[in-house]
Amino acid sequence: MKKLRFVIVLMLVCIHYNFGQTGAYEKETKAEKAARMQWYTDARFGMFIHWGAYSVLDGEYKGKKQKGALGEWIMFNLKIPVKDYKKDVVGNFNPTEFDADTWVKYAHDTGMKYIVMTTKHHDGFALFQSETSDYNIVAQTPFKRDVIKELSDACKKYGLKFGVYYSQAQDWYHPGGFTPKKRWDNQQEGDYDTYFKTIVKGHVTELFSNYGEISLIWWDSARKVQNKELANEIGRELVKLQPNIIVNPRLSPTSQKDFQTFEQVIPGILTEDYNELCLTQNRSWSYKPSDTNWKEPAFLLKTLTHMVSIGGNFLFNVGPKPDGTFPQQAIEALQYIGDWMEVHNEAIYQTKASPFYKLPFGEAALKSENGQHSIYLFVYEWPKDGTLDVLGIKNNIASVSILGQKNTISVTNTANGIRISDLPKKAPHEAVSVIKIQISESLQIDEGYVKPNLDNTIQLTPLNALLTIKPQYDCIPFVAYHNDEPYFANWKNCIPTTKKNTGNKAHWKIEVAKKGRYKVNLRYATKVAGNIITLKNKQRLHVKLPNTNGLTNFQSFELGEIELTKGINTLTLTGGKKNELWDEIQIQSLELIKL
Ligand code: GLC
């Protein structure tokens, strides 16, 4: 009976696999995929560019202000009639200062290895010459130049990979294209499948045929695709034109995906092999000078080293100005990261995720070549006394150095790791200094997952948590102290304008020797009743919390019971679902008590 069940499950898995993998690569082995993905994982760092006719407007049209934060959505937000958008927005797109060479050089000098450029966004307007539709830059604007051609050429010149963003599902111009909610202009009326077979297929065939190698296709937005079978079928045909292309996960909900996308959410942990964070510098993807929520260059640099330390890529977005130049804030951030990359890029390229679960002073990456291992420590908190303990390394150390400095640094083995001493008192870099540890024998590292105490309780605190954050709103949780006890402050829903709760998460990886059931107590403080908290591993606890009557009035509350399996378990704590209350709450700890 068990065997039969196993065979049925196996058959279901196979069926799912065959139908689920709808790309041209469905027969590819893991190793073949790794070879195809090699340049991408080696690169770690790329530039997203959102630029189009919408860049002309700054969140305002004919005296009306756009409600949404995203500049490229203005036509939808203000329901601008097709004819008016074509005349006032597209017709005024004249980026006379545009120089593809300058753009690509910025990316190159920042140490980025690929570019993903918007070729047609939701407004339906194409930035390349096209026989498919005359709604394109060459036919409709005074500028008349094919910027995709110029950019793809410049990428070749500088040795960068060139990728294209293409909005296949939404198109607010071409008849039949998808518009969220209701269409607002008769010209949008039409048959979706016909639109897909003519406009999407025609456009992407042109993109995949006329510009040499296209290294990546960044479809958008899968959930709005109206006919996923058709999208998958056309997608499968199209990738044959670019046999090595890497495909993002947004062609359709069931299409081939070569990597996982994290949009505006900086993940604390990764569960798949290939991953990419895309992030804006302010809130809008496209240029919107009235949006002044610029992220600090040091934060962006740490976002890069963070993604590298968890084994993912960072696609950093720039929204160029309507005249074709980069905004000053982008130039400054790129320069800042570029200066750092010049000295430290060996800690980025060709690296793998950190071998440590969590380091108290920062993060890390690993590079292994011909039996030689380099561990790069990204030190965010430089030790004032010049001594840094790295727990978990059991190896003899060949050498330790600071990237960008000549002298080697003294190191000794300790009972549970290594001690690096005589470091300079001042951090070599104000945000991310890098210490390189070289090891010439096979690695012996204890990752340092959270483990049970001798009394069989497990303490999960902000200090041993990994965080997933959504930085475009002003609510990144941070560690604060109350009576010397750490807690997460500013733990609340990130999206006040909608009722979605897609904000912050804390994760813990716990290693247990035997499977067992645990009682879970949450220690928290809040000044409202009814906050929802969710704790997930294989099971899910979804609990309404009482008021503790004060943001520092910490109390324990029993959430329920969970089971931990032998080995490594991931526990994730977050708020509730859409429309559930997630007001401010301070989280001090989770205590797991073995039953
Ligand atoms: C979303 C937005 C779109 C943006 C994209 C980038 O799909 O609708 O404007 O281009 O995210 O990730």
What contacts 357, CB < 8 A, 6 or more positions away? 447, 448, 449, 450, 509
Classify strands 275-279 and 260-263 as parallel, antiparallel or unpaired: parallel
CATH 2.60.40.1180 assigned to domain 362-439? The reply is: yes
Atom of ligand 1 nearest to the CA of 250: 7
N-to-C CA span, the chain: 33
HSE value, Cβ hemisphere, 13 Å, CA-based, for 267: 21
Q: Using DSSP, how many helices (H) and how many strands (E) does the chain show?
A: 12, 28
Q: Is 72 in the pocket of ligand 1 (CB under 6 A)?
A: yes
In 3-state terms the chain splits into helix, strand, coil percentages (rounded to 5) of 25, 30, 45
The torsion of the CA quartet 91, 97, 100, 103, rounded to 10 degrees, works out to: -110
Q: Which of the listed residues 123, 263, 315 should we mutate to test ligand 1's pocket, taking the one with most ligand atoms within 8 A of CB?
A: 263
Residue 23: predicted pLDDT = 46
Q: What is the pLDDT of residue 540?
A: 95
Vertex 143 angle, CA 142 and 147, to 5°: 150
Q: Which amino acid, 406?
A: K
What is the distance between the alpha carbons of residues 68 and 81, in angstroms, rounded to a whole number? 18
At residue 475, the pLDDT reads: 80
Query: 45-343 is classed in which CATH architecture?
Result: Alpha-Beta Barrel (3.20)
Q: For a substitution probing ligand 1, which of 47, 48, 54, 70 has the most ligand atoms within 8 Å of its CB? A: 70
Residue 317, SS3 per DSSP: strand
Question: Would you give per-residue pLDDT tens digits along the chain (595 residues)?
Answer: 555 555 555 544 444 433 334 345 778 999 999 999 999 999 999 999 999 999 999 999 999 999 999 999 999 999 999 999 999 999 999 999 999 999 999 999 999 999 999 999 999 999 999 999 999 999 999 999 999 999 999 999 999 999 999 999 999 999 999 999 999 999 999 999 999 999 999 999 999 999 999 999 999 999 999 999 999 999 999 999 999 999 999 999 999 899 999 999 999 999 999 999 999 999 999 999 999 999 999 999 999 999 999 999 999 999 999 999 999 999 999 999 999 999 999 999 999 999 999 999 999 999 999 999 999 999 999 999 999 999 999 999 999 999 999 988 999 999 999 999 999 999 999 999 999 999 999 999 999 999 999 999 999 999 999 999 988 777 889 999 999 999 999 988 877 666 677 678 999 999 999 999 999 999 999 999 999 999 999 999 999 999 999 999 999 999 999 999 999 999 999 998 888 888 889 999 999 999 9
DSSP state of 170: B
- Residue 403 CA to ligand 1 center (angstroms) comes to 37
Distance CA 368, CA 366 (A): 7
Q: Is the CB of 221 under 6 A from ligand 1?
A: yes
**What H or E segment, with its residue span, contains residue 508?**
strand 505-512
In this structure, what token pair is assigned to residue 570?
């991931």
Tell me how far the alpha carbon of residue 151 is from its chain's centroid.
24
| 7-11+450-594 placed in CATH 2.60.40.1120 | no
Instruction: Compute the distance from residue 56 Cα to the ligand 1 centre, in Å.
Output: 18
Centroid of ligand 1 to alpha carbon of 105 (angstroms): 25
d(CA 539, CA 527): 28
pLDDT, residue 15, reads 42
| 274/279 Cα distance (integer angstroms) | 17
Q: Atom 5 in ligand 1: which residue has the minimum CA distance? A: 220
- List every span in the chain annotated with CATH 2.60.40.1180: 362-439
Strands 555-564, 466-468: pairing is unpaired
Whether 285 lines ligand 1, by a CB cut-off of 6 Å, is: yes
Residues of the chain with CATH 2.60.120.260: 7-11+450-594
> According to the model, what pLDDT value does residue 498 have?
62
CATH 3.20.20.80 maps onto the chain at 45-343
CA of 49 to the centre of ligand 1 (A): 11
Q: Which of 3, 18, 45, 51 is nearest to 349 (CA)?
A: 45
Burial bucket for residue 191 (CB in 10 Å: 0-12, 13-18, 19+) = exposed
Ligand 1 centroid vs 220 CA: distance in angstroms?
Answer: 7
Which residue, judged by its Cα, is nearest atom 10 of ligand 1?
Answer: 285
Give me the pLDDT at residue 552, please: 94
Q: How many whole angstroms from 251 Cα to the centroid of ligand 1?
A: 13
Other C-beta atoms lying within 10 Å of the C-beta of residue 412: 9
Task: Please give the model's pTM, rounded to 2 decimal places.
Answer: 0.95
CA angle 560, 564, 569 (to 5 degrees): 115
